[in-house]
Amino acid sequence: MLKEIILRMTQIDNRPKEPSMAIGKQAPRLRFAPSPTGFLHIGAFRTALFSWLYARHTGGQFILRIEDTDTARTVEGAVDDFINGLAWLGTDIDEGPVIGGLYGPYYQVQRSSLYQQYASQLIASGHAYRCYCTPERLEAMRKAQEAQKLPPRYDRHCRYLTDEEHTANEVAGLSWTVRFAMPLDGETVVHDQLHGNMVFKNSDLDDMVILKSNGLAPYHLAHLVDDHLMGITHVLRGEEWIPSAPRHVQLHKALGWEVPLYYHLPNVLGKDKKKLSKRRNA
C-alpha cells in the first residue's frame, strides 16, 4: 500500500488545469500541520512521512506548522513532541517554528488577525455572516433534530436576519461567531489525486463556523488561509476529512483562490479495524 500510494503521488497530475493555474508550475510545497491537542500518533507519523517523501522526491519543500487555535484542549509538551518526533523520524523541515522561514509565524495563534481579516472579507462579499445563536439554542436545535432522526446541522437562522435585527443584536452586545454561507443548491466537485472526482450535494452541507466568538478561527478557515499564504501546493491528510472537503473547495472559490492538490490518505487501522488515533493512544 505504501509503495502504491507513493508511486501514484509522484506521477504527473493529469487534472484539467485553467491557463492561469500556478500550482502545477512551481516546486511542490507540502506541510505537516499537527494540532497540539495530543501527542503524535501513528497516522500523523504516516502523513508527515508521506509529505516529506513527496517533497524530497520532487525537489520541493517540507514545512511544519502548528495548528494551535483549539486552546482549550492544548496539551503541554505536545509541540516539543512534534519537533522531536520529526527529528526521530528523520524528516528534516525547511521551514517551521524553530528554524523560521519567509512565511511565518508558524503558530496559528500568532496569525489570528489574518483569519479575522479574511472572515470580514467573506462577510463583506456576502459569503459569510454573523451568527448570534446561543449555545443553548444550538443544543436545543440539535436535540430536536436528533429526536426526529435528522442529521445535525445549523438551521441558518441568522443567515436571514434583516439589517435591523443585526443592528439590534450588535447594540445589545450579543456574542457572535462567523459562519460560511454555503450554496443552497447545486453540487460541489472535489478532485482528489487518489480518489478521483467526488461529488457532494450542497443541500447536504450546513453553514460551518469559520470564526469563533473568541476571535480564533477553527481548522476550516485557519488551515485554508495559511495554506494559501504559505504557498502550499499539495495537501495530504486522512480520509476523515473527505466530508469537509467540499466546504473547503467552496471557501477557496469564495476567496478567489486556487484549490491545492488533495490527497486523502486511507486511515491507519488497528486489528479491530478501527482508526488508530491520538484519542486511542496510538
Q: Which pLDDT tens digit goes with each residue over 119-152?
A: 999 999 999 999 999 999 999 999 999 999 999 9
- Using one digit for the tens of pLDDT, what is the confidence trace for 186-239? 999 999 999 999 999 999 999 999 999 999 999 999 999 999 999 999 999 999
> Where does the pLDDT of residue 84 fall: very low under 50, low under 70, confident under 90, or very high at 90 and above?
very high
Check: CB of residue 238 under 8 Å from CB of residue 69.
Answer: no
All structural domains of the chain, each given as residue ranges with its CATH number in brackets, are 26-129+181-280 (3.40.50.620), 133-174 (no CATH)
**Nearest by Cα to 190 from 145, 146, 245:** 245
Q: Over the chain, what is the mean pLDDT?
A: 89
What cell does 263 get? 490527497
- Split at pLDDT 50, 70, 90, the class of 279 is low
- Three cell numbers at 15? 487534472
Least confident of 7-21, 47-61, 85-99, 114-128: 7-21
The predicted model gives 95-103 an average pLDDT of: 95
Catalytic residue numbers read 278
Query: pTM of this prediction?
Result: 0.86
**209-211 vs 29-32, strand pairing mode:** unpaired
